[in-house]
């Protein structure tokens, strides 16, 4: 008669012992199998540590309790308890973007898992490597509408690279190894592992998965085609007005050094997208600025007048191209360097496709590219344009302008901080007026535009860089979507400097209603928002406020001089807008320049 052990049957364990013996005979290994009988939860923690995970962000619940119970017996496993599951997934995202490692978060079933969906979609849109672990109801009650049951695998299939539903605890080592391989290879992205409660408590004879992963049909690193690189270099040799658009793919491929070498060898000017900021040094003479919807005048006009356009790790999203019919109309040829073949020709015609890892493609190009000074007249024209049409705003001695605040933060940090932003006007002001010198120094939600992202992402970035200055820039709207995570900074004394640009309104929505809806303002007034200084103090964090230049500089200096977390609220005018701006349905050269 088969006897239940409470964690798997004797028959299952006998089968697993035979499997282990067969594996030993094939590999020459010899384990004391009785000592290796552990639960799926204990195996999960071991597997995460073996993948190099040094911090997991999460929130427990009933169906995840076996996993959380295993943590009490594993002092090497580090877990950060956030105050909301969305805080956990955004923190893991910020950790991944800032370090280049794979971010990991854990949540329980039902609402715990569904609270992760926005963060998973955010990571998917921006190609961020993450492994998301969700608990689920026991397999014995699946499909019965059990308490806190949700089919999170089906829900997240469109927003993950892959999703795993674990049904046999013996599959866990293979699944975890595959999940990390998928998340961190090729075009990176989130992978979900869903573990039912009973499976997390089944016992297994622990055996790590093979280091090498073989997935049929998955070829994440296509070989660089030397003919395509040669075609690209030939097009450069024929061009007179080339422009490079460098996107987030340059940062994620750790290819900033190769891009710099490519640019200095070919002497081609560079525009960097929002996610590409820092991928090419902002102080370089050939850097034009950020193009697109709120891009600067010179990069937008350069794109419109270029005869050769080279996109590197940029997917030609609509905030960069704006009206497609009229984008880069003078470009005789458009080249696209990307690791994902699905992006080639998806939005914009591609004449030259260089498929492969961006670092490898640029290395191949650098080996064959010839030095030239034939673009100097074009460069001189663009430099005159930058001098004539710089980013500007109407400063004030009576009001505190948000652009001034960002300039002040840049000046005092010398461009060396890790900056995270939420989404809105403050995000664009940060992109415009903070000069990013290094890759992975801007952490922001690009494709999804997720409010509530910025502050939890700063917590993740600070955990990944305990010795770095991390500044989180937020609006008064987005800050209220994640303010509870101030408890995490207070409890762990994480020295994040929290900036709230408070204009008492949903600023980006207001700006669009002003310019596109004839000033018909609807549901944008944030009256009744908390006193952010008092709110910070309620969490045990120092709070400061400023509404003029002198107070702003004093408060910010105090924040920088204070060990531990500090919140600084900067009161700015309600009617300040972000310019330049390209309205939807218009082309890049139809910019509204503002004042």
Residues annotated catalytic, as ranges:
85, 147-148, 197, 508
Q: Can you read off the two tokens belonging to residue 58?
A: 């999460």
What is the C-alpha to C-alpha distance for residues 137 and 200, in angstroms, rounded to an integer? 10
Q: Quick check: 489 and 541 in contact, CB under 8 A?
A: yes
Q: Can you say how many angstroms the Cα of residue 467 is from the centroid of all Cα atoms in its chain?
A: 20
* Cα-based angle 468, 469, 475 (whole degrees, multiple of 5): 140
Q: Is 8 exposed, middle or buried (0-12, 13-18, 19+ CB in 10 A)?
A: buried
CA–CA separation, 40 vs 178, rounded Å? 17
**Helical packing angle, 226-238 and 358-368, nearest 10°:** 60
- What's the token pair of residue 554? 């004093």
Measured between alpha carbons, how far is residue 118 from residues 122, 170, 187, 193, 554 in Å?
6, 31, 20, 17, 37
Place of tokens 């658009």: 245
Q: For residue 368, how many other CB atoms are within 10 A of its CB?
A: 12
Maximum C-alpha span of the chain? 87
Is the CB of residue 511 less than 8 Å from the CB of residue 522? no
Instruction: Tell which residue, 458, 464, 393, has the closest CA to residue 428.
Output: 393
């Amino acid at each position: 008669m088969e006897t239940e052990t409470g964690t798997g049957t004797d028959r299952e364990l006998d089968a697993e012992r035979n499997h282990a013996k067969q594996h030993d005979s094939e590999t020459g290994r010899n384990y004391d199998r009785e000592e290796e009988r552990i639960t799926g939860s204990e195996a999960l923690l071991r597997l995460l540590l073996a993948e190099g995970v040094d911090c997991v962000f999460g929130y427990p619940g009933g169906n995840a309790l076996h996993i959380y119970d295993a943590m009490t017996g594993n002092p090497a496993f580090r877990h950060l308890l956030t105050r909301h599951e969305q805080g956990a997934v955004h923190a893991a995202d910020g950790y991944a973007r800032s370090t280049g490692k794979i971010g990991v978060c854990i949540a329980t079933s039902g609402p715990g898992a569904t609270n992760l969906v926005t963060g998973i979609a955010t990571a998917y849109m921006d190609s961020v490597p993450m492994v998301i672990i969700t608990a689920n109801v026991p397999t014995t009650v699946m499909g019965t509408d059990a308490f806190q049951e949700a089919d999170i695998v089906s829900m997240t299939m469109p927003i993950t690279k892959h999703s795993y539903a674990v049904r046999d605890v013996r599959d866990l080592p293979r699944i975890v190894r595959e999940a990390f391989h998928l998340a961190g290879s090729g075009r990176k992205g989130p992978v979900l592992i869903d573990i039912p409660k009973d499976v997390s408590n089944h016992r297994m004879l622990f055996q790590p998965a093979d280091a090498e992963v073989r997935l049929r049909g998955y070829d994440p690193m296509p070989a660089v085609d030397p003919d395509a690189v040669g075609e690209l270099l030939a097009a450069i040799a024929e061009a007179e007005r080339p422009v490079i658009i460098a996107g987030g793919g340059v940062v994620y491929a750790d290819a900033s050094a190769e891009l710099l070498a490519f640019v200095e060898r070919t002497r081609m000017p560079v525009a960097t997208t929002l996610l590409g900021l820092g991928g090419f040094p902002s102080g370089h003479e050939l850097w034009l600025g950020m193009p697109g919807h709120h891009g600067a005048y010179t990069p937008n006009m350069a794109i419109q007048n270029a005869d050769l356009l080279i996109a590197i790790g940029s997917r030609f999203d609509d905030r960069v191209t704006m009206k497609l019919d009229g984008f880069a109309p003078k470009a005789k040829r458009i080249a696209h360097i990307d690791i994902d073949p699905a992006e080639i020709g998806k939005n914009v015609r591609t004449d030259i496709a260089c498929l492969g890892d961006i670092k490898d493609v640029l290395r191949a190009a650098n080996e064959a590219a010839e030095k030239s000074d034939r673009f100097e007249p074009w460069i001189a024209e663009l430099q005159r344009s930058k001098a004539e049409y710089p980013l500007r705003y109407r400063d004030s001695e009576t009001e505190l302008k948000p652009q001034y605040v960002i300039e002040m933060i840049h000046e005092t940090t010398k461009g060396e901080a890790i900056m995270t932003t939420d989404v809105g006007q403050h995000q664009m002001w940060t992109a415009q007026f903070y000069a990013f010198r290094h890759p992975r120094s801007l952490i922001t939600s690009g494709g999804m535009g997720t409010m509530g992202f910025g502050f939890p992402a700063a917590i993740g970035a600070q955990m990944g860089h305990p010795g770095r200055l991390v500044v989180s820039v937020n609006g008064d709207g987005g800050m209220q979507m994640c303010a509870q995570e101030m408890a995490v900074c207070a409890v762990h004394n994480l020295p994040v400097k929290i900036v709230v640009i408070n204009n008492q309104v949903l600023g980006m929505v207001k700006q669009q209603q002003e310019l596109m809806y004839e000033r018909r303002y609807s549901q944008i007034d944030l009256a009744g928002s908390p006193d952010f200084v008092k709110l910070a103090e309620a969490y045990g964090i120092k709070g400061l406020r400023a509404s003029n230049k002198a107070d702003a500089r004093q408060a910010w200096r105090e924040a920088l001089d204070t060990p531990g977390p500090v919140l600084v609220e900067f009161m700015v005018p309600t009617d300040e807008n972000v310019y330049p701006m390209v309205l939807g349905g218009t082309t890049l050269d139809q910019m509204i320049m503002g004042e």
